[in-house]
Amino acid sequence: MFPTHASDTPSPLPEVELRLAIIGAGPAGLSLALQAARALPTARITVFDARPADKDVSTDARTLALSQGTVQELQRMGIWDAIEASGHSAPIKAVHVSQQQPTVLWPGSQQPAVRISAQEQGVPQLGAVVSYGTLVSPLQAAWLKAVRADEHRLAMRFGTPVRGFKSLPQGVEIDADIAESFDLAIVAEGGVFTDQPKLQWPEGVSRDYEQTAWVGQVLLADTSAPGVAYERFTPSGPAALLPLPQGQVQAGGPIGRRAALVWCVQQADDPVRELNDAQRLTLLNTIFPDEVGTLRQVSPLKAFPLGLNAHRHLVSEGQVVRIGNAAQTLHPVAGQGFNLGMRDVHELLAALKDQAWSTVDDDDARQMKVQRALRRFERRRQPDRLALVAATDFLARSFTWPAPILATVRGLGLGAVQTLGPVKRLMARTMMFGVR
């Protein structure tokens, strides 16, 4: 017999107080995984994602508008420094909201507009603009580093789509190549409106707005104010410009001040689809207010159909919870969809941390605590999400209503917000931190 050395004996797996499955390695899913790994030090956390492990996410150029609350969350996670160091983020220092149609009852020569600045709100910035890849790349790197450091407790399953869930008496079973059981499954993989299964009441609500978002970039005038986000209501739908770092909008084109463009129009009367880039640029220069200046160039644009897909409840079947786009896919008119998902993450983590987890809990005790946490999460999140869903749905549908008086009503509303200080401050705080 050879002597048995301590190094030859496998170390026992650590006891686990909670088994979490997170479906989707996008920004919401990775943010939750990273924070849960730190806040719940004996929880076993597995992240599933259908994309292959070698896919380079850093090149994904989709634009995300981050509220100041989301930026602060990323700062607390230690991720924001890497994003800023990349040189691919731009601060939002001010927001300008106006409409193209005149407000006939508004006194004075200047049309009503809402102007909110970081300086007047006493914050360093109202938010920031980043690309999807710029955000996901450091989140993924941080999560993979955490997995390597604690591989008995944390796991990343690339190339593993989750095909379904089965409710168990003490948890939920996930169908992902093999069946695995967890105490709780968090779905953070939403996709885009056209790819999602449509909901029927009472499960939720789906609405095709019959609108298209044309998305790309524009080159601004050198004289345009830096760090300003513009929202412009037009008869066809809202159009927005979000500040970006300096660069090119077309290969071989000039380098200058850029903005991300989100241009929403009615599908039945699309003024964009049949135009070439030069014609689109000419039309864009008739849409935005004089403060923007003359747009110099527009990139090729991509089209995305728009709609609403919102679950009535965030928790279903007792052990499955949805966050972010998996819970609600919204019209981009308010630019708050991703920020709503990050607030889902924050509140779900707070509800889970609030429970007195113990490695000696049996299955029944663990499930009782899971249910208690989910009830708190649902109760705390519904006011914020329902208010935002209702507001974006109203605005999105208002562009299809033929009554001309609506433009005047909307203009008067913009003027009232700008004039009434407390209302303006409330709007700014809601934009930065949600409904509290």
* pLDDT tens-place string over residues 238-278: 999 999 999 999 999 999 999 999 999 999 999 999 999 99
Residues 6+ apart with CB under 8 A from 182: 19, 20, 21, 46, 171, 172, 173, 174, 319
Which pair of structure tokens corresponds to residue 81? 């420094």
Count the alpha carbons within 13 Å of 351 in the hemisphere toward its beta carbon. 21
* pLDDT tens-place string over residues 41-77: 989 999 999 999 999 999 998 899 999 999 999 999 9
Model confidence at 37, pLDDT cuts 50, 70, 90, reads very high
Separation of CA 190 from chain center:
10
Whole-angstrom distance, CA of residue 65 vs CA of residue 75: 16
Q: What is the pLDDT of residue 15?
A: 59
Model confidence at 334, pLDDT cuts 50, 70, 90, reads confident
Q: How many helices (H) and strands (E) does the chain have?
A: 10, 21
Is 1's pLDDT higher than 50? no
Is 7's pLDDT higher than 50? no
Domains and CATH numbers, the chain: 18-207+306-433 (3.50.50.60)
| Phi-psi group of 237: left, alpha or beta (phi > 0 → left; psi -120 to 50 → alpha; rest → beta) | left
Q: What is the pLDDT of residue 34?
A: 97
Q: What is the pLDDT of residue 191?
A: 81
